[in-house]
Amino acid sequence: MLKALFLTMLTLALVKSQDTEETITYTQCTDGYEWDPVRQQCKDIDECDIVPDACKGGMKCVNHYGGYLCLPKTAQIIVNNEQPQQETQPAEGTSGATTGVVAASSMATSGVLPGGGFVASAAAVAGPEMQTGRNNFVIRRNPADPQRIPSNPSHRIQCAAGYEQSEHNVCQDIDECTAGTHNCRADQVCINLRGSFACQCPPGYQKRGDQCVDIDECTIPPYCHQRCVNTPGSFYCQCSPGFQLAANNYTCVDINECDASNQCAQQCYNILGSFICQCNQGYELSSDRLNCEDIDECRTSSYLCQYQCVNEPGKFSCMCPQGYQVVRSRTCQDINECETTNECREDEMCWNYHGGFRCYPRNPCQDPYILTPENRCVCPVSNAMCRELPQSIVYKYMSIRSDRSVPSDIFQIQATTIYANTINTFRIKSGNENGEFYLRQTSPVSAMLVLVKSLSGPREHIVDLEMLTVSSIGTFRTSSVLRLTIIVGPFSF
């Protein structure tokens, strides 16, 4: 008897705790409950999930509002007198405790429960709103009690506040939100509860007094990776130029502009949040920092080429005048035409000079001079015409560059035959009318021709250098001439 009474009291406490759930509008909750910020009310704590080994001795934990129960593993609970998920029909006249079923039929005579609605007997059939709860017991939100249905269908029953009589003469919850009988403000959302309702602010808003004000999500974590934009009831993240939102709509990832939309004319280098363009050698970035313009290297310096600079797309080249060839890409070197394209006749000799060549007669001697095997023009002593003429004339050729620096030693003259007891003197006999040259005697038998004025070509100078030989005792006097042909090239190289 005591055991049956104990089980009946447990069932009564379970039913009452489930039926008397109230909406708490403050954040301080009683033991067994915690505050739900979304629904703005207290919610039950499931101790069976959070308390390790809540029940001892092989008992099973059954959570209920504000606490939990420890029952035998074979026990089944019928809330509001519903049938268990797997019914076990007890034998007639036996107590519900012997079948492991906790019933609430003893409360049927009490009529209206504090939580609202009626409680049916253990013989009631599960209605359409039956749900299977955790730990194998059945929960019915709005139970009906067929035994309480009056025989007169017009008989009215008394329901708790927030409930109304249905067409089946049972108390059912009033949906104030659908019926429009709530008093929520226009900026609030109505949430229907069992026997009542609650007014909540929409997502993204918080209650401040009687007002729903926007929550500035940009001031609270999680923050956006770069920029946060608050909107009424929400927010969104933005990225700086050169970045884009990742799939999580929070993180900003770099955009590789070189792969996505390469705007560079030649070379593109991606950097964090941007990109830079570079040009190939011989080009430079234009003002738009995207395109490349050719660099006119010939205008940047006048020392790139020895003669002439020719600009080309992305590069430059050097040119040389006729008679020269380009060496080492920039300098000009004279072409020896006497070795490559000799156009002189057989009775002529080819003489190469800087920038060209000339043909001179192989026998330059003029009457009364005759050519000797030593390539000298000698005037015979037996010829009366030779008495007033130089004994010999030697023809020599040389070339110099235009605008050669001065003073400069350019040619040395030296006696080939030395006589005893003689004195040699040297002088410029002809070809120095403008004073471009000076002859400096360096020894008794030699002298040096010095260029004292700069010469510009192309030009040819013929200078006669004379050596006078006089006997120290005055017995004889003779002279010889070196006829020097100086060819000045057209350029300074």
Domain of 357, CATH number, reads 2.60.40.60
pLDDT at 276: 95
pLDDT at 95: 34
Within a domain: 361: yes
Task: Name the DSSP letter for residue 266.
Answer: S
In 242-350, alpha helices (H): 257-260, 297-300, 337-340
Within a domain: 278: no
pLDDT at 258: 93
Supply φ then ψ for residue 16, to 5 degrees. Answer: -65, -40
Distances (CA, A) of 243 to 104, 228, 269, 276, 460: 65, 14, 16, 15, 75
The number of residues making up the chain comes to: 493
Contact 483, 389 (CB under 8 A): no
- Residues 480, 393 share a domain: yes
pLDDT at 166: 87
pLDDT at 155: 62
- How many angstroms separate the CA atoms of 61 and 71, rounded? 7
Distances (CA, A) of 322 to 240, 310, 353, 461: 62, 16, 13, 22
DSSP character string of 45-111: --HHHHSTT-S-TT-EEEEETTEEEEE-TT-EEBGGGPPPSS---PPTT--GGGGTEE--GGGGGG-
- Residues 312, 434 share a domain: no
Within a domain: 444: yes
Burial (CB count <10 Å: 0-12, 13-18, 19+), residue 245: middle
- Residues 347, 482 share a domain: yes
- Residues 480, 352 share a domain: yes
**Tokens 């390539």, residue?**
375
State yes or no: cis peptide before 222, omega within 30 of 0: yes
Within a domain: 126: no
- Residues 326, 349 share a domain: no
- Residues 312, 361 share a domain: no
Please give the structure tokens belonging to residue 164.
């109304």
- Residues 413, 347 share a domain: yes
Cβ neighbour number for residue 41 with a 10 Å cutoff: 21
Q: Which residues of the chain have pLDDT under 50?
A: 1-26, 80-151
Domain end call among 227, 254, 281:
254
- Residues 350, 428 share a domain: yes
pLDDT at 77: 66
Within a domain: 271: no
pLDDT at 282: 93
Within a domain: 365: yes
Contact 279, 265 (CB under 8 A): yes
- Residues 323, 235 share a domain: no
pLDDT at 154: 55
- Residues 376, 453 share a domain: yes
- How many angstroms separate the CA atoms of 92 and 99, rounded? 12
- Residues 482, 348 share a domain: yes
**Which has the closest alpha carbon to 493: 308, 305, 335, 307?**
307
DSSP character string of 380-441: -TTSGGGGGS-SEEEEEEEEE-TT--SSEEEEEEE-SS--TTEEEEEEEEES-TT--EEEEE
pTM of the full structure = 0.50
pLDDT at 335: 94
pLDDT at 416: 85
Buried b (16+ CB within 10 A) or exposed e, 189-216: ebbbbbbbbbbbbeebbeeeeeebebbe
pLDDT at 302: 87
Within a domain: 469: yes
Contact 443, 467 (CB under 8 A): no
pLDDT at 436: 96
- Residues 361, 315 share a domain: no
Per-residue pLDDT tens over the stretch 398-451: 999 999 999 999 999 999 888 888 899 999 999 999 999 999 999 999 999 999
How many structural domains does the chain have?
A: 4
Q: What is the dihedral of CA 454, 458, 459, 465, to 10 degrees?
A: 60
Residue 232 lies in domain: 217-254
Within a domain: 452: yes
Helix (H) or strand (E) holding 274: strand 274-278
Residue 327's CATH number: 2.10.25
Residue 241's CATH number: 2.10.25.10
Supply φ then ψ for residue 15, to 5 degrees. Answer: -65, -40
Domain end call among 185, 212, 239:
212
